[in-house]
């Protein structure tokens, strides 16, 4: 980490320093929100969570050698501390200040579906030419983005940062930290519609990223998305990618290799080049086109882009395909919404042999939750031979899949599913497992792989 003084930290968070003023010249070697990661001369920022309050761990942070702590309340201590109104806002302010110390090019990514995969593909492509920092996993929230930014080092050429939201104003606060040059919007779907009200509301929330785009920045959109298309009506700095030939960057000559991925040709205004994406599904084409657009915008050659796409590897819980004991497990448990569920079922349809899907509740869908689950049940019946459902809302998936002619079973809890799972899975089957994160279906994946 690039060091900065304690005095600079006080200024960045607009706080009040409490302690010996001679200490203000000491350098901060790191910033953490987990007291277990504190090292000598680190700054500890306590965050209030649903189940804990980081302020309770301030004594442990000092014991581990923290140079100071940020706090929302006065402390009875001889150690120096910075008093602020809101520790989360202070943490974000520190990240914003730290980002300003670098001239690194920054790619910002948001959207309803595919953010993490697009981030991984963009990073894979850009890494063919540049030293890239990327968000770890899907650290895309109000603490995850600052943590990513605080990992910047002098050797990095490009930062690829994913930004997520389920409430208005959250993307704005993250973009203020990141200040991207290249802004990618993957699509507008139903994810978090409970809090954002409508797809128009989701578009508004995602578009907050553009408010803090650099003056010389550029916007990249999925041009086949009817909501994102509207950005071209009001902006001149938009490049569209997609399958439609009206897009600036589009895919043609698409050839599926089943679960082995997809071959296609990328057309750009002055060139065409062949690529292979080693992960299946038509949705991966859109993600790959976004990655190609990022590479082209940063001066990369077609062969470098193609090499980066071919080098892509999935991350845990994101359509990881594993074969064991005669079955193929499509592990896509990290999260789910109607759009990503349909995309995962489309991938299952590529599989040979028996096709089984284990689907759990999709959360944060508001008053339309039952409708979305029923629609998914009908869709699942087209792509799977057996539909196993777990959770209160997944009962609607089961009902509609059964009505559509699929073999369907519903389980109230995951424990009930696991007790009977072996009777539904046979050698030669491909098994998709997917649900919202709160369903914790990784336990089902673990049992399948045993």
Binding residues for ATP: 111-117
What DSSP string describes 378-428? HHHHHH-SEEEEESTTHHHHHHHHHHTT-EEEEESSHHHHHHHGGGT--TT
- Indicate the helix (H) or strand (E) that contains 376: helix 369-383
- What residue numbers does the annotated binding site cover? 111-117
Question: Which residue from 251, 259, 288, 278 is spatially nearest to 118, judged by alpha carbons?
Answer: 288
Instruction: Report how far residue 356's alpha carbon sits from residue 359's, in angstroms, rounded to the nearest whole number.
Output: 10
Residues 6+ apart with CB under 8 A from 437: 333, 334, 335, 363
Question: Which residue from 191, 194, 201, 186 is spatially nearest to 240, judged by alpha carbons?
Answer: 186
Q: What angle do CA 159, 164, 165 make, to 5 degrees?
A: 150
- The pair of structure tokens assigned to 221 is 């959109």
Instruction: Report how far residue 278's alpha carbon sits from residue 292's, in angstroms, rounded to the nearest whole number.
Output: 15
Question: Which residue from 214, 256, 219, 210 is spatially nearest to 239, judged by alpha carbons?
Answer: 219
Q: Would you call 423 exposed, middle or buried from its count of C-beta atoms within 10 A (0-12, 13-18, 19+)?
A: exposed
Q: Indicate the pairing of strand 262-268 with strand 249-256.
A: antiparallel
Alpha-helix runs per DSSP H in 113-154: 115-126, 144-149
Residues 6+ apart with CB under 8 A from 49: none
């Amino acid at each position: 980490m690039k060091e900065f003084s304690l005095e600079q930290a006080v200024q960045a968070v607009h706080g009040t320093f409490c302690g010996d003023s001679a200490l203000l010249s000491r350098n901060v070697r790191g910033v953490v929100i987990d007291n277990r990661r504190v090292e000598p001369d680190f700054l500890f920022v306590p965050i209030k969570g649903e189940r804990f309050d980081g302020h309770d761990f301030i004594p442990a942070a000092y014991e581990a050698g923290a140079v100071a702590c940020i706090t929302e309340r006065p402390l009875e201590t001889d150690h120096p501390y910075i008093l602020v109104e809101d520790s989360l806002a202070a943490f974000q302010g520190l990240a914003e200040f730290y980002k300003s110390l670098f001239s690194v090019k920054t790619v910002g990514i948001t959207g309803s579906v595919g953010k993490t995969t697009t981030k991984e593909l963009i990073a894979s492509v850009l890494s063919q030419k540049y030293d890239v920092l990327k968000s770890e996993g899907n650290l895309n929230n109000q603490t995850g983005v600052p943590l990513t930014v605080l990992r910047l080092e002098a050797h990095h050429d490009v930062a690829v940062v994913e930004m997520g939201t389920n409430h208005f104003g959250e993307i704005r606060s993250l973009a203020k930290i990141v200040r991207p040059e290249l802004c990618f919007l993957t699509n507008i779907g139903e994810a978090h519609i409970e809090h954002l009200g409508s797809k128009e509301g989701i578009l508004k929330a995602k578009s907050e990223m553009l408010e803090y785009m650099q003056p010389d920045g550029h916007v990249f959109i999925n041009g086949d998305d009817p909501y994102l298309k509207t950005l071209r009506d009001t902006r001149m700095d938009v490049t569209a990618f997609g399958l439609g030939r009206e897009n600036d960057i589009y895919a043609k000559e698409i050839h599926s290799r089943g679960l082995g991925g997809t071959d296609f040709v990328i057309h750009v205004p002055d060139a065409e080049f062949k690529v292979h994406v080693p992960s299946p599904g038509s949705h991966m084409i859109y993600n790959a086109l976004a990655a190609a657009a990022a590479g082209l915008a940063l001066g990369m050659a077609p062969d470098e882009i193609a090499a980066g796409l071919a080098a892509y590897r999935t991350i845990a819980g994101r359509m990881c395909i594993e074969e064991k004991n005669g079955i193929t497990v499509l592990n896509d448990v990290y999260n789910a919404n109607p759009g990503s569920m349909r995309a995962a079922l489309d991938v299952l349809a590529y599989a040979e042999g028996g096709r089984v899907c284990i689907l759990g509740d999709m959360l944060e869908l508001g008053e339309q939750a039952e409708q979305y689950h029923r629609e998914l049940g009908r869709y699942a019946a087209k792509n799977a031979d057996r539909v196993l459902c777990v959770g209160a809302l997944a009962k609607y998936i089961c009902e509609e899949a059964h009505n559509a002619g699929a073999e369907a079973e519903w389980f109230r809890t995951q424990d009930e599913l696991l007790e009977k799972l072996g009777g539904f899975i046979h050698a030669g089957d491909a098994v998709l497992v997917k649900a919202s994160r709160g369903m914790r279906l990784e336990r089902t994946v673990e049992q399948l792989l045993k």
